[in-house]
Structure 1
């Protein structure tokens, strides 16, 4: 029998909610959860399914204005304090204006501040003072080139990029492959390395690679989680450089 002393009668309290608009093939919900404090809940809504491989066509489809709005509308019922669009390619494929259009559409539907993964990357680069970066992606070359265009338009210099050439099952890539990809992308000219794709597992390799390379290693899910928490006035947990910067006093 459970007695009244076995639990807090006031309950866990009302959670702070971040709405997540994710692509239909998102397989790493749990990775985003690993960055969340106990009092923050993620509410996910997925875009409609399209039988496509991961390429420019798919990236454009999952960033379609009407589908983004309809998906975000599903989150309005839980009244999130902030929302994120957890997809790198879908937010950079149409350059900076395309990313902004997505976040503005989501924000209108949920009546809360919203940000895309690609915009979150730019905010993280600003926080860390990074203007020159290397990029490591799981994508086919044509999609990686779109990321280079996005970064160039934002005023950043890409010092080098490498990709795995994958168009499916990106969440199956083991850490050792991704770690080698980051090492191959890095160079003395790069002030940081960005690892693209919210479907590529990266959580446990960020801090070790930063110690090895001596510079920030930013990843898609990491910057997405950070940007969402930032809109709640909360720092990113953890010991990587972005987390440390998010806890630093302003001024």
Structure 2
């Protein structure tokens, strides 16, 4: 946030979000209201499955990035935890580098923000709650563990309809989280998914269990707070579509 002549100049935050996500924009608007304005471009996604998210990356991401570039954002967030984990941390980093090159803005990955927050917390035993199907849980777990975090247990609700990820209430999420914590005895809980009402449930879970909680959207908010935008970043030539990052080095 920059203050000039007593007025607040907020960063323009560009959010790349799945088309059926109804939660992330609300969470970021509330959490970042003092330092950033949130502007979204949507990537078509109906099914929260490996095939559905692959299509989002390969067929719909490029247009969303092009649209977002037109508003000259100072920070960009890739707002899908499981899609960031889908092809591994190296792919996710390259993806964000390419988005940053095209938009000229600091680009933040949701899965990387969450993994870093967990690793930096110093907690050695982390349990993970998600709304996902198992094939996505495997990818999320692998990305978190690649950051050196010990995942003692991961539990998914088995929801494959991306719009439906937002349907469990904060109370329902808290109840599932408390049961998971009592069963696995972690030192920290991560609740994954930007389209899950976990940020609304986080304080309740912490009060009920005494275990600190990180969520996807909380991790992004903290990452945005830490990183200034970089307007004017030189744009590089895109040799191939953004979603089709080479996996040769992964």
TM class, shorter-length: 0.7 to 0.9
> Aligned-pair distance for 1:13?
4.9
> Aligned-pair distance for 1:38?
3.0
Match of 1:184 among 175, 179, 184: 179
Structure 2: state its 5+ residue gaps. Answer: 230-250
> Aligned-pair distance for 1:204?
2.4
1:11-160 correspondence runs (5 A): 13-28=8-23, 29-47=25-43, 49-50=44-45, 52-64=46-58, 67-160=60-153
- Deviation string 1:103-160 (CA, Å, 9 cap, x unpaired) is 1121111112111110010221233223431000111112112211222222221111
Assess if the C-alpha contact under 8 Å between 1:83 and 1:228 holds in 2.
Answer: no
- SS of equivalent to 2:193: coil
Higher RCO by CA contacts (8 Å cutoff, separation 6 or greater): 2
Number of residues paired by the alignment?
Answer: 221
- SS of equivalent to 1:75: helix
Rounded Cα–Cα distance in structure 1 between residues aligned with 2:145 and 2:121:
18
Which ranges of 4 or more aligned residues in structure 1 deviate by more than 3 Å?
10-14
Rounded Cα–Cα distance in structure 2 between residues aligned with 1:68 and 1:131:
35
In 2 relative to 1, CA 151–123 (structure 1 residues): closer, same or farther, beyond 3 Å?
closer
Aligned to 1:212: 208
- SS of equivalent to 2:173: helix
Rounded Cα–Cα distance in structure 1 between residues aligned with 2:35 and 2:114:
24
Q: TM-score, normalised by structure 1?
A: 0.80
> Aligned-pair distance for 1:198?
0.7
Rounded Cα–Cα distance in structure 2 between residues aligned with 1:63 and 1:230:
27
Aligned to 1:170: 165
> Aligned-pair distance for 1:215?
2.4
In 2 relative to 1, CA 174–71 (structure 1 residues): closer, same or farther, beyond 3 Å?
same
Q: Does 1:223 align with 2:227?
A: no
Q: TM-score, normalised by structure 2?
A: 0.80
Aligned to 1:7: none
- SS of equivalent to 1:74: helix
Rounded Cα–Cα distance in structure 2 between residues aligned with 1:207 and 1:116:
24
